[in-house]
């Protein structure tokens, strides 16, 4: 059996290694149009910033090491031009010599990946404008910074690459502005959770131009002028287009393969395309989202590697199935870690799911052990069934641990209440006896059993201020004096039982504290005395962070830029 693989990164390289482990006699040929195979896309920004010092560390394997260990014929700088499914051949061009040739296959695996979106803007071809997708792209950016020593950069796009590159360029001492079309960075996060990411970026000197788009570029005084849609101009020494990626599927399209979302390659759960003996994996393929069941595109390394393994199994006569993607991801944002899995609240509602959320601010480990740090967790679940839909966490320690537990729970089909029962490791330096994941389960159980009703920050502007409801802040007077929500009176939770006569019976009570815990206790006290109560999800800390972010974004929009 002869297997030809087009694309030698993530999915393609994984498939090649798995094929050899399953079939010692198969002939395996991989064509990769760049000069590198099995390289770490996710590490590219960190090489630019210097966190990864050795360029060789970016490549997990070389053509020589792959052949030595797996006897796989890895041919770099070779671009597949066309596929003839009838004759089972691939037309290939050697990019160094210009020579074209045909390669026969018994089985063909497509792993072409995705290509950076590069809009046709005036001046977009200028030599100070870059994209970041391949090792060669990374070396070009690194060499430009070394030789030209730009003092400022504009990053167009606020996704993973834009945020990671912003951090790494700031580490080099550059002034950095991120221009993002939507009103937030990091689309997989809800806007309220993105507020914490914005705060971390701003605290480290990154300027944010949210809700803006780039209209063009001009060369100016040895640098660039980046022209925004509102007429604002940003002077910069360089710019990086990190707008996103699109499936690289021209080859599949010309071969007559069935296509899906945004021109992606349609595959079944065996990673088979619509054409016999042709498989496809990675960023170029359409997958099922395992939470919503809808078709989706997810450009992540984890799914690509799993798909490569599954395709190899099936090429060798097995019956492996891809269970779908749920978008688990994590990102370092200066000192902060932000992670998510499943669907966020916005996506859940857009998919027609009747979603609710709990928001909590637990410590990363036991409060009595030194060094604990707060994290903010948002867990999304289906109201009627309590099906666990997704989670987002931002914080400084322990974020990756909790998101992985929640990702596993979603994958296992657990309902959200079951989170309370998980037997998770505990020692004071690492966690609490009631882990934050358990706490989320307790909160969801309370909602499911009707022990507490919530209100959300979106509801606050519409709360009556005419005396028909009681707005109650149960923090200490000292906390209250440092900031409160307009219209909320202060009665500390520990004084509440003795001061019940200050609350008019028959009126609903909307309670708030710093994190939501004390106000939950207040709600239970009041419910025990016949009051109808509602607890603010996330508490005042969460509320103030979101409101502050919205105010800063609005101010920046009014004056033209973050200050």
Which residues are marked as active site?
42
Residue pair 153/236 in contact by the 8 Å Cβ criterion: yes
Residue 149 in tokens: 């020593």
Residue pair 336/492 in contact by the 8 Å Cβ criterion: no
- Report which DSSP code applies to 316: T
Whole-number Cα distances in Å, 524 to 301, 456, 493, 510, 535: 46, 18, 11, 12, 10
Residues 469, 348: Cα–Cα separation, whole Å:
31
Residue pair 292/350 in contact by the 8 Å Cβ criterion: no
The strand ranges marked E within 144-276 are 152-156, 175-180, 207-210, 214-220, 223-228, 233-236, 238-241, 245-247, 265-266
The b/e string for 352-378 (b: 16+ C-beta within 10 A; e otherwise) is ebebbbbbbbbbbbbeeeeebeebbbb
The b/e string for 394-415 (b: 16+ C-beta within 10 A; e otherwise) is bbebbbebbbebbbebbbeebb
Query: What is the helix, strand, coil percentage profile of the chain, to 5?
Result: 35, 25, 40
Residues 323, 325: Cα–Cα separation, whole Å:
7
Residues 178, 206: Cα–Cα separation, whole Å:
7
DSSP H helices in 28-159: 44-49, 63-70, 135-148
Residue 431 in tokens: 């966690």
140: left (phi over 0), alpha (psi -120 to 50) or beta: alpha
Neighbours of 220 (CB within 10 A): 12
């Amino acid at each position: 059996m002869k297997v030809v693989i087009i694309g030698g990164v993530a999915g393609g390289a994984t498939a090649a290694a798995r094929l050899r482990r399953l079939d010692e006699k198969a002939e395996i040929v991989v064509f990769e149009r760049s000069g590198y195979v099995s390289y770490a896309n996710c590490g590219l920004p960190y090489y630019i910033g210097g966190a990864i010092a050795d360029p060789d560390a970016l490549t997990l394997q070389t053509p020589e090491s792959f052949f030595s260990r797996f006897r796989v014929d890895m041919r770099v700088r070779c671009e597949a031009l066309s596929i003839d499914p009838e004759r089972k051949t691939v037309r290939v061009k050697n990019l160094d010599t210009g020579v074209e040739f045909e390669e026969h296959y018994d089985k063909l695996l497509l792993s072409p990946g995705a290509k950076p979106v590069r809009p046709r803007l005036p001046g977009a071809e200028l030599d100070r404008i870059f994209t970041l997708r391949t090792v060669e792209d990374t070396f070009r950016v690194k060499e430009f910074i070394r030789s030209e020593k730009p003092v400022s950069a504009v990053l167009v796009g606020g996704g993973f690459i834009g945020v990671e590159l912003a951090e790494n360029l700031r580490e080099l001492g550059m002034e950095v502005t991120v221009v993002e079309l939507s009103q937030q960075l990091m689309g997989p996060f809800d806007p309220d959770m993105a507020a914490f990411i914005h705060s971390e970026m701003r605290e480290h000197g990154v300027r944010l131009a949210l809700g803006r788009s780039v209209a063009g570029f001009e060369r100016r005084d040895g640098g660039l002028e980046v022209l925004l849609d509102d007429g604002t101009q940003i002077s910069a020494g360089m710019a990086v287009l990190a707008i996103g990626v699109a499936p690289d599927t021209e080859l599949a399209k010309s071969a007559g393969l069935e296509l899906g979302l945004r021109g992606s390659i349609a595959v079944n759960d065996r990673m088979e395309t619509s054409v016999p003996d042709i498989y496809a994996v990675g960023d170029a393929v359409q997958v099922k989202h395992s939470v919503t069941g809808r078709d989706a595109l997810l450009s992540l390394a984890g799914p690509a590697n799993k798909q490569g393994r599954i395709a190899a199994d099936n090429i060798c006569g097995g019956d492996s199935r891809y269970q779908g993607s749920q978008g688990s991801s994590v990102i370092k944002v200066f000192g902060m870690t932000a992670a998510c899995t499943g669907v966020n609240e916005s996506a859940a509602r857009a998919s027609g799911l009747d979603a609710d959320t709990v928001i909590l601010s637990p410590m990363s480990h036991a409060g009595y052990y030194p060094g604990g740090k707060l994290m903010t967790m948002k867990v999304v679940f289906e109201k009627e069934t309590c099906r666990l839909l997704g989670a987002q966490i931002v914080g400084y320690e322990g974020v990756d641990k909790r998101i992985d537990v929640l990702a596993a729970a979603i994958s296992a089909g657990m309902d959200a209440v079951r989170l309370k029962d998980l037997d998770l490791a505990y020692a004071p330096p690492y966690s609490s006896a009631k882990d934050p994941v358990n706490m989320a389960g307790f909160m969801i159980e309370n909602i499911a059993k009707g022990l507490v009703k919530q209100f959300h920050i979106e509801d606050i502007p519409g709360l009556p201020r005419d005396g028909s409801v009681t707005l109650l802040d149960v923090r200490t007077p000292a906390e209250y004096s440092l900031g409160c929500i307009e219209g909320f009176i202060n009665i500390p939770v520990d004084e509440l039982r003795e001061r019940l006569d200050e609350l008019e019976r028959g009126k609903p009570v909307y309670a708030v504290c710093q994190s939501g815990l004390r106000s939950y206790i207040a709600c239970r006290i009041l419910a025990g005395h016949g009051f109808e109560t509602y607890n603010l999800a996330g508490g005042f800390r969460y509320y103030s962070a979101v409101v502050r972010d919205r105010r800063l974004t609005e101010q920046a929009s009014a004056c033209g830029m973050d200050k």
